[in-house]
Structure 1
């Protein structure tokens, strides 16, 4: 597996990827669970709220580095980077749909598409940067879990 070596001239592009991901994270963070979410029925396996911040921090770092690794390898926008950008948009949109609009149903559609794009990134980035693909595996696992949780909350609360 290739090692991650950062040359000084590559630092600006890494910073750009980190800032783009941070902007999406900041957007999503504007929509907090709040009272509405607390009143919803949730499955017994719903994790504590304190878990989400640390998990997403690690995942967002991995997402930024994965996108940057593909950029570094390709030097231009390729299919896997288009997928990377699209999944990032859906990632940020989920919080707005679920917590902002109080629409677990629309959020479920969003997260299913997000999961498909995460898998598509893993597959398409693999030939440019195996490390980028591997960095998305924990993200895929977490979003798979979040998809199941979104579905369960939607089912438990649909009238």
Structure 2
């Protein structure tokens, strides 16, 4: 193996670690700030179509892995941050918005404000998807389940806001 290949593989692995770390940090911030989300969720008046509380952990674990892989693929394909700055900027923005929603919804119990925030997340996520699709279709495709789940979560947030005013 040549030195360039070894360096490239190390750089790629380091990039994967960075994206995994960023997504893990966003998940951790949201999780810690949300406190006892299970108890809060169970105490709410929920629509009949609301999923059980136990489902959120496994779903988000899979989605977070896909979000990290998506960012890494785009970064690797672009050859760094600079060539993909707009796409990765939107990616960073959606991670921040993702981390902010749980404290608003579960911590502060500001369901209306959380609804506005998650709708902003949906818009930034759509922009991220469009920018990713221009550079790497698989990276964009990995974000589609996340978008679907986030739209579902926004609908659930709206229903909870209406039922618990």
TM-score by length of 1: 0.91
Kindly indicate whether the alpha-carbon contact (under 8 Å) linking 2:30 and 2:100 is maintained by their aligned counterparts in 1: yes
Could you say which structure has the higher helix fraction?
2
Q: Quote the Cα distance in structure 2 between the aligned partners of 1:76 and 1:39.
A: 44
**RMSD value, Cα:** 1.4
Larger Rg: 2
Q: Displacement of 1:99 after TM fit? A: 0.6
Residues 68-109 of structure 1: CA deviation (Å, up to 9, x unaligned): 112112212411100000000000100010011111111101
1:55 to 2:59 alignment: yes
Deviation at 1:34, TM superposition (A): 4.8
Q: 1:127 to 1:26 in 2, by over 3 A?
A: same
Does residue 26 in structure 1 map to residue 33 in structure 2?
A: no
Aligned match for 1:76, one of 76, 81, 105: 81
Q: Distance in 1 between matches of 2:41 and 2:150?
A: 19
**Residue matched to 1:42:** 46
| Matched residue, 2:114 | 107
Tell me the number of residue pairs that the alignment of Structure 1 and Structure 2 aligns: 153
CA deviation map 1:110-153 (0-9, x unaligned): 10011111111111111211111000000011001101000000
Which sections of structure 1, spanning at least 5 residues, go unmatched?
1-5
**Partner Cα distance (1:154, 1:76) in 2:** 39
Structure 2 unaligned segments of length 5 or more: list them.
Answer: 1-7
The reply to whether residue 150 of structure 1 matches residue 152 of structure 2 is: no
Contact 2:75 2:81 in 1 (8 A): yes
Regions of 4+ moved over 6 Å:
none
- Cα deviation, 1:38-90, whole Å, max 9, x if unaligned, reads 32211001101111011000100111111111211221241110000000000
What TM-score comes out, normalization by structure 2 length?
0.88
Q: Is the contact between residue 31 and residue 102 of structure 2 (CA under 8 Å) also seen in structure 1?
A: yes
d(CA) in 2 for partners of 1:35, 1:119: 31
